[in-house]
């Protein structure tokens, strides 16, 4: 990697009250202070791989340079969240920020929650929060809601790949789970772990689970623990990020561009083949010596790993999906 032009991912463990756009701004500021951002036509692009609300914490993948060409792919990736539903009150924003709109004295038991969870696993339909970034007639839903405009949010299909109760009695450092919460104990809150498809609103999921339990609720805690291939183990704090601007080597915190493509195969091209793809040309599958029967998307590399393009093999022809200028 050219030290003056870093391309790759910084995985930020986003703190509370920091917006995704602010997080991108913080990365740009540190790159600028480190003399790495560049200027004019050489200025590096920086973007994020999936919005995370200011009241949420956890993984926010931030793409730098050529990795920004993969942001759309990251947006489409599945995510894992931990979230807590506080029972007894529903708010206009479906989280702790909004005013209470409905209350209930009913409280579910752990057995109730575990019985309802399967109803929200698999393909489901949900109504997004009216306080969301979805556009309605060209305007953000939250802008309309804040202006007092009646907003009709339409059902949308999403997939909940898994949904489980996170038992708070898991002892740190131990594999043993001691079930201290009794099945018939009335709960003020419950924490769940969900693996979801793109477009899923956890706040809506929490609202609907609470209503299915004959009560109301809202999200009191939300943490993203995985986004696509990225996990919390790869994430750095805002303090660590700020070390880059103070002179720390960015390579200590930067994951390579290809880290965002670890779910697809890679194939190393010859110099001539790489040159053709960089020129926007196609390749014949039969010309790819050593081709391990690739099919569909793959990462085309050169010189044992240097990214050339996100490519696709369709009916014997290799075409460029996104080219990388590195």
For 104, phi then psi, to 5°, come to -155, 140
Per-residue pLDDT tens digits for 40-57: 888 899 999 888 888 999
Q: Beta strands 266-269 and 296-302: pairing type?
A: parallel
Q: Kindly state the tokens that stand for 16.
A: 């509370």
Per-residue pLDDT tens digits for 21-45: 999 999 999 999 999 998 888 889 9
- Please report, to the nearest 10 degrees, the dihedral formed by the alpha carbons of residues 73, 78, 79, 80 taken in order: -160
The pLDDT, as a whole number, for residue 262 is: 85
Tell me the average pLDDT across 73-80.
92
Nearest-angstrom CA–CA distance, 172 and 157 = 37
The residues that bridge with 157 in the sheet, in sequence order, are 125
Instruction: Please check the confidence at residue 178 and state whether its pLDDT lies above 50.
Output: no
């039969």: which residue's tokens?
A: 286
Tell me the average pLDDT across 181-208.
91
The region of weakest confidence among 76-85, 123-132, 177-186 is 177-186
What is the share, in percent, of the chain residues with pLDDT greater than 70?
A: 86
How many residues in the chain?
Answer: 326
Average pLDDT, the chain: 87
The pLDDT, as a whole number, for residue 87 is: 98
The pLDDT, as a whole number, for residue 169 is: 52
Give alpha helix (H) positions in the chain: 20-33, 71-75, 110-116, 141-146, 202-212, 238-245, 271-278
Q: Kindly state the tokens that stand for 204.
A: 């809506």
- Please report, to the nearest 10 degrees, the dihedral formed by the alpha carbons of residues 83, 52, 194, 64 taken in order: -140
Instruction: Please check the confidence at residue 3 and state whether its pLDDT lies above 50.
Output: no
Per-residue pLDDT tens digits for 123-165: 999 988 876 667 766 767 667 667 777 777 788 999 999 999 9
The region of weakest confidence among 78-82, 204-208, 315-319 is 315-319
| pTM for the structure as a whole | 0.87
| Better-predicted residue by pLDDT, 6 or 139 | 6
The pLDDT, as a whole number, for residue 179 is: 52
Instruction: Please check the confidence at residue 171 and state whether its pLDDT lies above 50.
Output: no
Confidence label for 317 from pLDDT (cuts 50, 70 and 90): confident
H-helix or E-strand spanning residue 163: strand 156-165
Per-residue pLDDT tens digits for 197-237: 999 999 999 999 999 999 999 999 999 999 999 999 999 99
Confidence label for 1 from pLDDT (cuts 50, 70 and 90): very low
The pLDDT, as a whole number, for residue 142 is: 66
Question: What residues contact residue 150 under an 8 Å CB cut-off, 6+ apart?
Answer: none
Tell me the average pLDDT across 252-271.
90
Q: How many CB atoms lie within 10 A of CB 13?
A: 18
Q: Beta strands 283-284 and 317-323: pairing type?
A: antiparallel
**Which member of 2, 13, 42, 53 is catalytic?**
53
Instruction: Please check the confidence at residue 278 and state whether its pLDDT lies above 50.
Output: yes
Nearest-angstrom CA–CA distance, 63 and 60 = 10
Active site residue 53: yes
């Amino acid at each position: 990697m050219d030290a003056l032009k870093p391309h790759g991912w910084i995985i930020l463990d986003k703190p509370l009250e920091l917006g995704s756009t602010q997080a991108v701004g913080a990365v740009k500021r540190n790159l600028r202070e480190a003399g790495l951002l560049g200027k004019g036509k050489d200025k590096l692009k920086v973007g994020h791989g999936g919005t995370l609300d200011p009241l949420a914490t956890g993984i926010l993948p931030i793409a730098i340079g050529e990795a920004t060409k993969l942001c759309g792919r990251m947006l489409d990736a599945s995510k894992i969240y931990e979230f807590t539903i506080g029972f007894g009150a529903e708010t206009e924003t479906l989280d702790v920020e909004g005013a209470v709109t409905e209350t209930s004295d009913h409280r579910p038991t752990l057995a109730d929650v575990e019985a309802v969870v399967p109803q929200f696993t698999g393909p489901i339909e949900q109504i997004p929060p009216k306080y969301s970034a979805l556009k309605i007639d060209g305007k953000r839903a939250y802008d309309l809601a804040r202006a007092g405009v009646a907003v009709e949010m339409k059902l949308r299909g999403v997939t909940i790949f898994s949904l489980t109760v996170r038992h708070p009695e898991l002892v740190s450092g131990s594999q043993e789970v001691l079930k201290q919460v009794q099945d018939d104990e009335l709960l003020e809150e419950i924490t769940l772990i969900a693996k979801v498809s793109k477009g899923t609103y956890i706040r809506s999921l929490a609202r609907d689970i609470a209503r299915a339990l004959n009560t109301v609720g809202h999200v009191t805690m939300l943490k993203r623990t995985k986004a696509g291939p990225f996990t919390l183990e790869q994430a750095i704090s805002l303090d660590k990020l700020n070390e880059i601007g103070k002179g720390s080597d960015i390579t200590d915190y930067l994951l390579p561009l290809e880290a965002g493509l670890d779910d697809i195969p890679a194939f190393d091209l010859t110099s001539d083949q790489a040159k053709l793809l960089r020129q926007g040309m196609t390749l014949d599958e039969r010309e790819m010596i050593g081709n391990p029967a690739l099919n569909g998307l793959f990462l085309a590399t050169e010189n044992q790993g240097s990214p050339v393009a996100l490519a696709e093999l369709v009916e014997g022809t290799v075409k460029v999906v996104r080219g990388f200028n590195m």
